[in-house]
Chain A
Amino acid sequence: MEYLIIIISAIFVNNIILAQFLGICPFLGVSSRVTTSVGMGAAVTFVITIAALLVYLLQYYILVPLGIEYMQTIAFILTIAVMVQMVEIILKKVSPSLYRALGVFLPLMTTNCAILGVAIILVQKEYNMFESVVFASSTGVGFTVAMVIFAGIRERLDLEDLPAGMKGAPIALVTAGILAMAFMGFSGVV
């Protein structure tokens, strides 16, 4: 039950993009086609889950015992950057097909604030190891859901006749606002 609440809350109620404003750069940048959004969403879910596990171990087995919690940000960022590189190298060898599918999106992960954001949030909320992994993977799913819905709308927006000033980013942001309003309907669920 506890896990179910974490999952529903991370996907719908506190959606990482539409309620917490994390990971908006890829959301606006990559979401013009449904297929690329699925790829980006899968890459984020994959990286965010491994990152959560690593960050958990780092926080409770290295930073806390040594009493250097103030090094959190720098330790997390470097771990995530190294991890993204490692995942890229390993995927290339082990699963070339997955690497081709996720490849272009992986280097973007280091500067994706959703990854570091989730890492910091799960430490703040004092989740245990299993909860951290569940929370991170459902956040990734929430990211994918928002991306895919949004890409579907944007594919149609391309065909609309808009005033010159509203083309591109402005209309995308207004659309995201309306989507966020729709997601607010979930706020009573949990």
Chain B
Amino acid sequence: MSKIQILTRGIIKDNPIFVLLLGICPMLGTTSSAMNGLGMGIATMSVLLLSNIMISLFKNLIPNKVRIPAYIVIITTLVTALQLLMNAYTPALYNTLGVFIPLIATNCLIFARVEAFASKNNVVNSAIDGLGTGFGFLGALVLLGTIREILGTGTFFGHKFIEGDGVLIFVLAPGAFIALGFLIAIFRKVTAKIS
């Protein structure tokens, strides 16, 4: 596989949210606005990128039998570092995302990429894979956040451009499920048309 293919694979063909349905919990829980989606997307992407790099560096040192606990420790260490950084530099975002920041450690998406790709490939390719899959996840989060924010409050990244109150249900829990359901259906239809 060429480097371009590795990069685009995670964005369209194997999009973590729309195709593989991995990491749905943070996807629904943090996308009440486009800004929150962007913050969560960047946080998850940096953990994914760094854990892919770290694990592909250490892959020959980790015995096969204890690889899962070792991966858990590496991923969670990165998440803890991120948690402390966000608490220090972006306290408002840290408070809004709340429990979902430490829960990046149990995001099945990160585990899936580490186990399926980084543990078998070299550092450069693993970094590209982390970046591509991370972008796929980030894109999905920002898209869902934007749709929910526009429908729910009539704003885009906080700027009001539709008069009136909006359909509040889209900012609340039920709207998250419904909007994501329709987004996945549309994504399938569009990708089926293209290919």
Contact = CB atoms under 8 A, between A and B. Distances in A.
Interface string A55-78: 000000000000000111110011
Contacts of B184: 169-170, 173
A121 B99 contact: yes
Contact of B102 (A23, A25, A73, A169): A73
A148 B180 CA distance: 22
Interface in A90-115: 110-113
A48 interface: no
Interface stretch (B53-61, B121-129, B130-138, B171-179): B171-179
Nearest to A182: B174
Contacts of B99: 22, 117, 120-121, 124
Interface stretch (A13-21, A30-38, A126-134): A13-21
9 contacts: A25-B22, A25-B25, A110-B106, A165-B192, A166-B181, A172-B181, A176-B177, A176-B181, A184-B173
A171 interface: yes
Given A77-B72, A116-B103, 17 more contacts: A21-B26, A21-B28, A21-B173, A28-B21, A28-B24, A73-B80, A78-B73, A78-B76, A113-B103, A165-B192, A170-B182, A170-B185, A171-B181, A173-B181, A176-B177, A177-B177, A177-B178
Interface of B: 21-22, 24-26, 28-29, 69, 72-73, 76-77, 79-80, 83-84, 99, 102-103, 105-108, 111, 169, 172-178, 180-182, 184-186, 188-189, 192
Contacts of B76: 73-74, 77-78
A111 B24 CA distance: 13
Contacts of B180: 173
Given A74-B80, A116-B102, A181 B169 contact: yes
A181 B174 contact: yes
Interface size classification for chain A: 35 or more
A165 B186 CA distance: 7
B25 A23 contact: yes
A77 B80 CA distance: 12
Nearest to B18: A169
A16 B180 CA distance: 18
A171 B185 CA distance: 9
A73 B79 contact: yes
Contacts of A5: none
B25 A24 contact: yes
Nearest to B98: A124
A149 interface: no
A180 interface: yes
B186 A178 contact: no
Given A177-B175, A184-B174, A111 B73 contact: no
A164 to B, nearest CB: 8
Given A116-B105, A117-B99, A173 B80 contact: no
B22 to A, nearest CB: 8
A113 B177 contact: no
Interface in A144-169: 163, 165-166, 169
Nearest to B112: A111
Nearest to B24: A24
Residue from B22, B25, B172 with most neighbouring chain A CB atoms (10 Å): B25
6 cross-chain pairs, A with B, having the tightest CB-CB distances, nearest first: A177-B177, A173-B181, A177-B178, A21-B29, A174-B181, A180-B174
